[in-house]
């Protein structure tokens, strides 16, 4: 029998789950109250056994993983929450190359890349990137994180008096780089070329330099950037383009050169940003640009200049990952990831709302933000690990389960995952009518 | 007060008479409400929030803050000092700012700097000024009507149109919600802080699309030139009720924070 008191406690818990992390982000008073409250919130989620975030993995990001939640519980899960798209993070040849590099160069680079932190292995990676893209006359700037590439490149490329026009779904690293630059920042509606053109018309005469920032694959929706028209418009109005291929480099395009290759605009993009943490399976990132731009970025991107160079082990691993991506094995893995994504979509199509995704970043929109904690907890307890997203990361009441399909998932794993999603859809009432 | 204590003040299940020492002073009943949050340049928000308040605009993205425009259609029978008011209309204009999380109250959903309110009821305006310290604008002929499509609400008076709200959700659904919020307001070089409570059935969404405009009307006279009449651009979030909902909005006795 449920007493009135039990009912009240349940209601209070329900209300508590409605908090989102942004509600703790600011406080007007001197006390760090927002930090205390946020910490308190996390403790409560742990105590109620519904906190599925920051759980510890006990092995590599393979397609099935064991994890330990913050409250000590251990779960065995199908892994659709890692963007190790081509499985290179645990590829034996990549690991061996990393081991060889660490044995030769040591653990860390121990200096800024412009002082004494650039090793032979870094130069090898730069050369390998130019070779992979078939653009030998370009330059490469290596960074120790993907986030830092956008932060440093945009801050160095644009200045006060310039204008940066960004897709409204652009990644936080692009937004923060734009803010750091001191340039005027404007946003156009996601993939809306009419809106982009309206803004370019407004700004092209009033600012000394205009940079348009977009992505190859948008990580929140899993859709492709409209790169062909973006590049055409930028050229028409004399603007520069930055394309972040974080989720598409090595994966999209016949040769793995990204969505720019798919749309035939690789030669026309001014600033090509890649991340090593996804298709490459490592950490870090790089800018591919005209030689004089990359040389300038090496010195004027402050987070590069004033950070230690990329670590040798990862750099060695990335060289090998690029070799693999350029080989027949790379082509096979690229084909397989697309087949896997298509198969997963086919299993769910017409049964749940799949949003606008047409890549290996799959979304299932469950809508109600208030279900997020319970739904994620449910999915993990059923054996599926995903990357769940709610407001403010996505629009209000358009909360979604995001899944990263990899080339290494088996058909059986995909079928199991789809079955869990459909069970959850029934349980949480988000099956399509 | 820790979070455990704060959440025990769940607004949905308690009739909260006082918040952090502030007594409940007003209880309004509203039959229809529109509240749209438009994206604006943070610099523009700063220009409309006096710097001496030290309030910071709430940013949804680097460089982008929110201007909140509202319309309330009040039920007949709301009482002020024993006087039952007829139905009347109100328009509001706020800027979103950072909250005060140090109080003994549930986490506020929104915190506003109140830039101006307006209505067609003098008694209401006087109450808003005297009790809540809100800057008000009076227009006896203020009214609103929905166009034939039922998606556009136009607010106007004898001097012309004031603003338009356009619903961008093709199939709105209305769900019960209840939450607390906070506000700041300046009156004669005094900064006040207040708390409000809201409950009712409402549609909240972030569907993109053309969401309305503001007109060159005396209600805009205190705005800086950085916000010009015309289309308002993207609406970050829309909140609106169906007609004839009994929405509740409560205000607690505001506190004087600082004098300048």
Walk along chain A (433 residues) and give the pLDDT tens digit of each residue.
334 444 434 444 555 666 777 777 788 888 888 888 888 888 888 888 878 788 899 999 999 999 998 888 899 999 999 999 999 999 999 999 999 999 999 999 999 999 999 999 999 999 999 999 999 999 999 999 999 999 999 999 999 999 999 999 999 999 999 999 999 999 999 999 999 999 999 999 889 999 999 999 999 999 999 999 999 999 999 999 999 999 999 999 999 999 999 999 999 999 999 999 999 999 999 999 999 999 999 999 999 999 999 999 999 999 999 999 999 999 999 999 999 999 999 999 999 999 999 999 999 999 988 899 899 999 999 999 999 998 888 888 889 999 999 999 999 999 999 999 999 999 999 999 7
Q: Are A211 and A164 in contact (CB under 8 A)?
A: yes
pLDDT of residue A70: 80
Task: State both tokens at A109.
Answer: 């680079």
What pLDDT digit, counting tens, does each position of B5-60 carry?
665 555 554 567 888 889 999 999 999 999 999 999 999 999 999 999 999 999 98
In this prediction, the answer to ipTM > 0.85 reads no
pLDDT of residue A9: 43
Classified as helix, coil or strand, A167 is strand
> B44 CB contacts (<8 Å, ≥6 apart)?
B65, B224, B226, B227
Task: State both tokens at B163.
Answer: 């603003």
Positions of chain B with pLDDT lower than 70, given as ranges: 1-15
Tell me which chain B residues have a C-beta less than 8 angstroms from the C-beta of A44. 3-4
Strand locations in A168-265, DSSP E?
184-188, 210-215, 240-244
pLDDT of residue B13: 46
pLDDT of residue A10: 47
Mutant choice from A17, A28, A154, A162 vs B, greatest count of B C-beta within 10 A: A28
B13/A contact by beta carbon, under 8 A: yes
- Report the C-alpha gap between A50 and A42 in whole angstroms: 10
B255/A contact by beta carbon, under 8 A: no
Supply angle C-alpha A56, A62, A66, rounded to 5.
35
User: Among all residues of chain B, which has the CA nearest to that of A174?
Assistant: B62
User: Chain B 59-88, CB below 8 Å of chain A: which residues?
Assistant: 60-64
CB contacts < 8 A, A to B, total 82
pLDDT of residue A100: 98
pLDDT of residue A239: 98
Interchain contact, B101 vs A29, CB within 8 Å: yes
Q: Which helix (H) or strand (E) holds B235?
A: strand B235-240
Interchain contact, A44 vs B3, CB within 8 Å: yes
Interchain contact, B99 vs A41, CB within 8 Å: no
pLDDT of residue A3: 42
């Amino acid at each position: 029998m449920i007493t009135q008191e039990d009912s009240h406690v349940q209601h209070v818990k329900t209300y508590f789950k409605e908090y989102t992390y942004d509600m703790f982000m600011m406080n007007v008073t001197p006390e760090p109250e927002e930090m205390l409250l946020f910490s308190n919130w996390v403790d409560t989620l742990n105590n109620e056994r519904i906190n599925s975030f920051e759980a510890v993995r006990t092995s590599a990001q393979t397609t099935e993983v064991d994890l330990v939640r913050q409250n000590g519980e251990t779960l065995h899960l199908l892994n659709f929450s890692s963007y190790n798209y081509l499985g290179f993070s645990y590829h034996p040849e990549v690991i061996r190359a990393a081991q060889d590099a660490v044995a030769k160069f040591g653990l860390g680079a121990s200096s800024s890349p412009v002082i004494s932190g650039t090793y032979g292995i870094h130069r090898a990676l730069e050369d390998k990137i130019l070779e992979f893209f078939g653009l030998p006359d370009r330059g490469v700037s290596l960074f120790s994180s993907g986030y830092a590439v956008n932060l440093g490149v945009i801050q160095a490329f644009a200045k006060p008096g310039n204008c940066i026009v960004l897709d409204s779904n652009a990644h936080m690293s692009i937004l923060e780089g734009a803010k750091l630059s001191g340039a005027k920042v404007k946003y156009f509606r996601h993939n809306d070329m009419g809106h982009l053109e309206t803004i370019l018309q407004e700004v092209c005469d009033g600012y000394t330099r205009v940079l348009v920032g977009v992505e190859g694959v948008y990580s929140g929706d899993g859709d492709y950037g409209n790169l062909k028209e973006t590049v055409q418009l930028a050229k028409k109005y004399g603007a520069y383009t930055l394309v972040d291929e974080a989720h598409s480099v090595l994966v999209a395009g016949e040769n793995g050169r990204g969505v720019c290759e798919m749309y035939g605009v690789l030669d026309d993009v001014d600033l090509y940003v890649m991340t090593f943490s996804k298709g490459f399976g490592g950490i870090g990132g790089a800018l591919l640009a005209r030689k004089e731009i990359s040389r300038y970025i090496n010195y004027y991107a402050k987070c590069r200049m004033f950070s230690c160079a990329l670590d040798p082990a990862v750099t060695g691993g990335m060289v090998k990952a690029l070799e693999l991506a350029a080989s027949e094995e790379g082509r096979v893995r690229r084909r397989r990831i697309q087949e896997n994504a298509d198969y997963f979509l086919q299993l769910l199509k017409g049964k749940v709302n799949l949003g606008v995704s047409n890549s290996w970043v799959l979304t299932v929109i469950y809508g109600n933000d208030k279900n997020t904690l319970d739904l994620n907890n449910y999915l993990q307890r059923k054996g599926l690990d995903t990357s769940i997203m709610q407001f403010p990361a996505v629009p209000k009441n358009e909360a979604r389960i995001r899944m990263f399909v990899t080339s290494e998932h088996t058909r059986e794993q995909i079928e199991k995952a789809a079955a869990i999603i459909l069970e959850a859809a029934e349980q949480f009432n988000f099956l399509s009518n | 007060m820790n979070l455990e204590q704060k959440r025990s003040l769940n607004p949905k299940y308690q009739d909260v008479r006082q918040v952090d020492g502030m007594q409940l002073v007003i209880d309004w009943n509203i039959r229809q409400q529109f509240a749209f949050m438009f994206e604006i340049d943070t610099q523009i928000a700063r220009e409309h929030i006096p710097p001496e308040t030290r309030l910071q605009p709430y940013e949804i993205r680097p460089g982008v803050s929110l201007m909140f425009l509202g319309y309330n259609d009040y039920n007949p029978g709301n009482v002020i000092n024993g006087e039952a008011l007829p139905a009347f209309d109100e328009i509001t204009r706020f800027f979103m700012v950072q909250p005060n999380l140090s109080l003994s109250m549930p986490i506020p959903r929104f915190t506003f700097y109140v830039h101006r309110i307006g209505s067609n009821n003098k008694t209401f305006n006087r109450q808003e000024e005297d009790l809540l310290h809100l800057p008000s604008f009076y227009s006896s002929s203020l009214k609103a009507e929905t166009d034939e499509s039922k998606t556009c609400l136009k607010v106007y008076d004898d001097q012309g149109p004031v603003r338009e709200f356009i619903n961008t959700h093709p199939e709105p659904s209305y769900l019960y919600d209840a939450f607390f919020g906070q506000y700041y307001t300046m009156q004669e070089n005094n900064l006040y802080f207040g708390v409000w409570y809201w409950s009712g059935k409402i549609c909240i969404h972030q569907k993109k699309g053309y969401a309305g405009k503001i007109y060159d009307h005396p209600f805009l006279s205190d705005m800086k030139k950085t916000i010009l009449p015309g289309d308002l651009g993207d609406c970050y979030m829309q909140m609106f009720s169906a007609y004839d909902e009994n929405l509740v909005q409560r205000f607690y006795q505001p506190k004087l924070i600082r004098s300048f």
